[in-house]
Amino acid sequence: MTTAMRDVDLRVHLWATGTQSRAAEIAYEGRLRAGVERLTAALDQVRVAVADVREEARRIEVQNVALLES
């Protein structure tokens, strides 16, 4: 993501900031960065939830084995 945004910036950095196209590009970049941050946060929450489910599944499996062996 960073590399792609750097490539875009290298191509448009000479655009005057007062032009509509540069203003639109800057606004889009802001929305894109915010979206990536939200996506990253959501993926981190998924990672934590999957780890919790994995641990709970392991705990239940241990209980099931104990029940079958008793």
> Please, is 29 exposed, middle or buried when counting C-beta atoms within 10 Å of its C-beta (0-12, 13-18, 19+)?
middle
User: What tens digit of pLDDT does each residue of 4-54 get?
Assistant: 888 888 888 888 888 998 899 889 999 999 999 999 999 999 999 999 999
Tell me the two tokens of residue 8.
């875009």
Tell me the two tokens of residue 28.
């889009």
The reported pLDDT for the residue numbered 33 is: 92
Q: Which residue has the higher pLDDT, 48 or 66?
A: 48
The reported pLDDT for the residue numbered 36 is: 94
Kindly list the distances between the CA atom of residue 8 and the CA atoms of 37, 39, 61, in Å, as whole numbers in the listed order.
Answer: 19, 21, 51
The reported pLDDT for the residue numbered 56 is: 97
The reported pLDDT for the residue numbered 43 is: 98
The reported pLDDT for the residue numbered 48 is: 98
Nearest to 32, CA basis, from 44, 21, 43, 24: 24
Q: Are 17 and 23 in contact (CB under 8 A)?
A: yes
